[in-house]
Structure 1
């Protein structure tokens, strides 16, 4: 009796698990992790950058841009999750059971795949952009900033393309600049890794959409073949009756 009850519980668990869109759900979770890391990394990084450069206007737009990007990506990711759930087996059999609905589902998935491709490319570009501050801050570990007089260390921000009211940090100011910069690089590394995770989640969504699209096409072909078989059987019955 216990064995039968265990098998019944296992079957129920597998049945419940079969209703979960695992591929879309994993991609959505990766997206949320990436958005969380990006938000924290850029917010902390922007604030520490202002303190390090002694410029309160540096990256003044980052908070507003980040709010728009994070909210938009969350909405898009949730939409992809819902469409992935509806387009996967067995939900699609109940939602897109007719030929017209199946064709609409295919069109929706094709549109979302193209949209994910564009978004994925955009996040790859964003990852490259976020790699720039990581590279510049990594110079604090490897580059020699000794001034020409060989007694103090200085850094001139003009050489790195930064338009800042204070361009040069020397002596004790450079030591503070170096210390804060080495702490700051952690935030930008976190933001860079998060952007890469977001790009990976979009690639994952594209894989799921491709699989769902193939299933929808096969399902439509099977439905058409079933109609053809029913028509042929009906004709055969009519001929036999005559």
Structure 2
């Protein structure tokens, strides 16, 4: 699918991997990128920097009504959406049994609602318009890319909600790909390893270095722009469909 003149929704599009993706799509000629996020200050700054083709919408993806209203606003302005990248996520760290007691269910619920329900809310809201849109010469109508994590396979201690939500995104890739293929809609999942994003700003340098050392080569944290490069490849190349791709320099997460 061509990125030029495409309309995209990127959740978490005001920081980290989502911001890098939004930047890349705009650089490649996307007609509009709608960033669903909860960082008003950063969203306004990016709008001022990137121009009117970048649109920030304050959206809590865990809330279906907010997602539906935001998608409707994008479709009203730009017609159907061709590209969706679900990058919004929260860490929701908690152990099943800790010194403070059993797993706080409100923490688990938040992780599942944002990381799993969020992508579902966006996909169910976008899919009808995408499926009804005019296909390309090759029969494509859109591509949906969910963002999982290496924690889907090697979850660390305290990552119960995070790992469960990311593993669920991997698990739903196949049934969604099979269902939406008849509409010319592709579904992919990318599972990044450790990328140098704002989520690591509060992590001590020594711990970041230790984490980066888990990679085989290159032995460093990934750069958000490198993640965006893979998103570009997936969007452009129609043979990417129904698969989960790990992007982690061979990193295997340790138990903790």
Higher strand share: 2
Length-normalised TM-score, structure 2: 0.24
TM-score (norm 1): 0.25
Higher relative contact order (CA 8 A, sep 6+): 1
- Which structure is larger by alpha-carbon Rg, 1 or 2? 1
